[in-house]
Amino acid sequence: MRTAAAAAALSLLLAWGCGPKRQSEAKPTMKTQPFGTTSDGQAVELFTLANSNGVEIAITNYGGIITAWKAPGRDGRAADIVLGFDTLDGYLAPHPYFGALVGRYANRIAKGTFTLNGVVYKLARNNGENALHGGIKGFDKAVWKARDVSTAAAAALDLTHTSPDGDEGYPGTLTATVVYSLNNNNELRIDYTATSDKDTVVNLTNHSYFNLAGQGEGDILGHELTLMAGRFTPVDAGLIPTGELRSVENTPFDFRRPTAIGARIDAADEQLKLGGGYDHNFVLDAGGGALSLAARVRDPGSGRVLEVLTTQPGIQLYTGNFLDGTITGKGGKVYRRRYGFCLETQHFPDSPNQPSFPSTVLKPGQTYRSTTVYRTSVAK
Ligand code: BGC
């Protein structure tokens, strides 16, 4: 009786609005502004997605580049946590893929060549003798068609690009669509799809460089990383996987428990020497398919946390080893060695030449699909 009476009283109170306060959540917004003109005269725009927690992410349809990502820290102050440039001109000059969409094939393909259905394809070689990140003019340098596809739950930007048959040496006309959406859970969701009119290979990613203390605010060696990966793909001197899936056990590649990125980065380890630090693909335990937590990074100083979820089987940890202070970015900040880290969700590098790796082949009639979520929060 008593319980029933209490329940009735509680439901009355709730009906009167005396229950737990509902957060009045403003719906995420998107604003559009001009961002300049490419060297061949195409106007590009900057889209700023913002949510009710003070997260603000700016994306341009030039290369689908994330140019800024403001996220509050423990002290409530927002900092811009990605490396990049203040203006389009910065991105038009050579740079190491800051914030960009990478395609058709993220990461390396050995000697810029692969065989599909008995046909040998020769790709543009732009990294020594290898092909890297889609070639000389990859998706990072394309002007994507942009559309606002926002809903009540998320501010969303749809970017589409059609790459002609033979572009950078790849077969088939490939149409790629990437939808960036920001919700009030501080999640930037990236949905990739692609179709082709001929058999081809495809591997799409985003190449943001993060520094959770704020861009240009020192190196990322003190950031604590957890990677849900018991194996990685060791590489040769050209950073091409040897084909082995090696256990991380008792190696500096074991991030299964939270460990500072810098704790072992300069250890006397052959693989670290080859990469000049971490520049390796990790084999995610989840195996790809379902959206699963792949990585978590915490900056002890600011309290900012970044989590990465993906449907992809691999993730490249790149610790900005090639940054050398020659690039000046936003607000005049100089980007020195290891001032940013990338967690590029992907299929394994050089898969078109590695029959034992998960396949990157896309056939006409099929749709390539992958999803990655980057989520920020604050740890106490
Ligand atoms: C690669 C690095 C490369 C960087 C910039 C990363 O994905 O693994 O080796 O230097 O991209 O191109």
Please write the tens of the pLDDT for every residue from 53-104: 999 999 999 999 999 999 999 999 999 999 999 999 999 999 999 999 999 9
CA distance 137 to 126: 10
- Which residue's alpha carbon is at the smallest distance from atom 9 of ligand 1? 279
Active site residue 270: no
CATH number for the domain spanning 302: value is 2.70.98.10
With a 6 Å cutoff on the Cβ, whether 278 touches ligand 1 is no
CA of 318 to the centre of ligand 1 (A): 7
CA dihedral sign, ordered 3, 7, 8, 13: positive
User: Distance from the CA of 96 to the center of ligand 1, in angstroms?
Assistant: 7
Ligand 1: distance of its center to the CA of 27 in Å? Answer: 36
Q: Note if 207 is an active site residue.
A: yes
Q: How far is CA 290 from CA 94, 116, 180, 312, in A?
A: 36, 28, 19, 8
Q: Is the CB of 239 under 6 A from ligand 1?
A: yes
Residues of the chain with pLDDT under 70: 1-24
Structure tokens at 41: 């005269």
| Ligand 1 pocket member 105 (CB < 6 A) | no
Q: What angle do CA 157, 162, 163 make, to 5 degrees?
A: 130
Q: Is residue 3 part of a domain?
A: no
Q: Give the ligand 1 atom nearest the CA of 279.
A: 8
Ligand 1 atom closest to the CA of 239, numbered from 1: 9
**140 alpha carbon, distance to own chain's centre:** 13
Structural domain contains residue 252: yes
Residue 327's domain spans which residues? Answer: 28-378
Question: Is position 10 within any domain?
Answer: no
Kindly report the protein residue whose alpha carbon is nearest to atom 5 of ligand 1: 96
Catalytic residue selected from 207, 223, 280, 347: 207
Residue with CA closest to ligand 1 atom 6: 318
In a domain, 75, yes or no: yes
What is the whole-number distance in angstroms between the Cα of residue 101 and the centre of ligand 1?
13
Instruction: Return the residue whose CA atom lies nearest to atom 4 of ligand 1.
Output: 96
φ, ψ of residue 146 to 5 degrees: the values are -110, 145
User: Pocket of ligand 1, candidates 281, 315, 342, 345: which has the most ligand atoms within 8 Å of its Cβ, to mutate?
Assistant: 342
Site to probe by mutation for ligand 1, drawn from 279, 280, 339 as the one with most ligand atoms within 8 Å of Cβ, is 279
User: Is 41 inside a domain boundary?
Assistant: yes
Give me the number of domains the chain comprises. 1
Beta bridge partners of 175: 162, 195
Our mutation pick for probing the ligand 1 site, out of 65, 97, 108, 343, counting the most ligand atoms within 8 A of Cβ, is 97
Which 3-state string (H, E, C) describes the chain? CHHHHHHHHHHHHHHCCCCCCCCCCCCCEEEEEEEEECCCCCEEEEEEEECCCCCEEEEECECCCEEEEEEECCCCCEEECECCCCCHHHHHCCCCCCCCEECCECCEEHHHEEEECCEEEECCCCECCEEECCCCCCHHHCECEEEECCCCCEEEEEEEEEECCCHHHCCCCEEEEEEEEEECCCEEEEEEEEEECCCEECECEECCCECCCCCCCCCCCCCEEEECCCEEECECCCCCECCCCEECCCCCCCCCCCEECCCCCCCCCHHHHHHCCCEEEEECCCCCCCCEEEEEEECCCCCEEEEEEECCCEEEEECCCCCCCCEECHHHCEECCCCCEEEEEECCCCHHHCCCCCCCEECCCCCEEEEEEEEEEECC
* pLDDT at residue number 6: 52
From 52, 270, 1, select the one nearest 154 (Cα to Cα): 52
Classify residue 7: in a domain, yes or no. no
The pLDDT value given to residue 380:
77
Residue 254 lies in a domain: yes
9 belongs to a structural domain: no
